[in-house]
Amino acid sequence: YTNRDRDDAGETYEFDASGAAIFGPFTATFNDYVRRELKFNDARVYEILTGNVQPWSYRSFENRYVDASESLRRAMTANPSLKVFAACGYYDLATPHFAMDYTLDHLGLAKPLLSNITKKYYEGGHMMYIHQPSMIQLRDDLLKFYGAAVPQNP
């Protein structure tokens, strides 16, 4: 999925080719699922990645990158049973895998908690599940992770 904007250096993108092929089918599938399968009926329109669903405030992160690593460190320290699964796409430019590696490797956790982090890498990008081989591997990895993370009844 590639495209070219008229203003390559603009503050925002004019058109995101990576979403053009999937936003319609994802939106339609979600709407069908929640209404038909879950019996959720609501007059509101479901919107995907519009200004109406992203009015987030970045004030606490102004002029710097958003960093949730300290919140993760505190959560893992407060709950030593918390398990973390990091799915990293090699071609992810939104959250590059090497940035995830660096962040998780520099949390400052006690050594016993390091084994609570599982990192897996996929040939896809940010949404590795739209790359069929990555989706299959992600599913298998998550089933294994859930099986190990959730205590089983004897």
Interatomic CA distance for residues 153 and 104, integer angstroms: 31
Residues of the chain with CATH 3.40.50: 67-154
Interatomic CA distance for residues 3 and 1, integer angstroms: 7
Average pLDDT over residues 78-98: 93
DSSP structural state of residue 151 = P
User: Which value, to the nearest 10 degrees, does the dihedral of the CA atoms of residues 14, 20, 24, 29 take?
Assistant: -130
What pLDDT digit, counting tens, does each position of 96-127 carry? 999 999 999 999 999 999 999 999 999 998 88
Min mean pLDDT across 62-66, 76-80, 90-94, 137-141 is at 62-66
Q: How far is CA 32 from CA 41, 45, 56, 84, 139, in A?
A: 11, 12, 27, 31, 23
Average pLDDT over residues 13-27: 80
Rounded to two decimals, the pTM is: 0.77
| Structure confidence at residue 2 (pLDDT) | 65
pLDDT at 16 over 90: no
CATH of 67-154, one of 1.10.3470, 2.60.420, 3.90.1690, 3.40.50: 3.40.50
| Structure confidence at residue 1 (pLDDT) | 58
Interatomic CA distance for residues 132 and 152, integer angstroms: 30
- Listed residue (99, 84, 94, 83) closest to 127, CA to CA: 94
Mean pLDDT (the chain, rounded):
88
- For the stretch 9-42, what's the b/e string if a residue is b when 16 or more beta carbons lie within 10 angstroms of its beta carbon? eeeeeeeeebeeeeeeeeeeeeeeeeeeeeeeee
Which of the two residues, 10 and 120, has the higher pLDDT score? 120
| Structure confidence at residue 34 (pLDDT) | 94
| Structure confidence at residue 93 (pLDDT) | 84
Query: Tokens 């591997």 label which residue?
Result: 137
Interatomic CA distance for residues 83 and 113, integer angstroms: 9
Residue 121: strand, helix, or coil: strand
pLDDT at 14 over 80: no
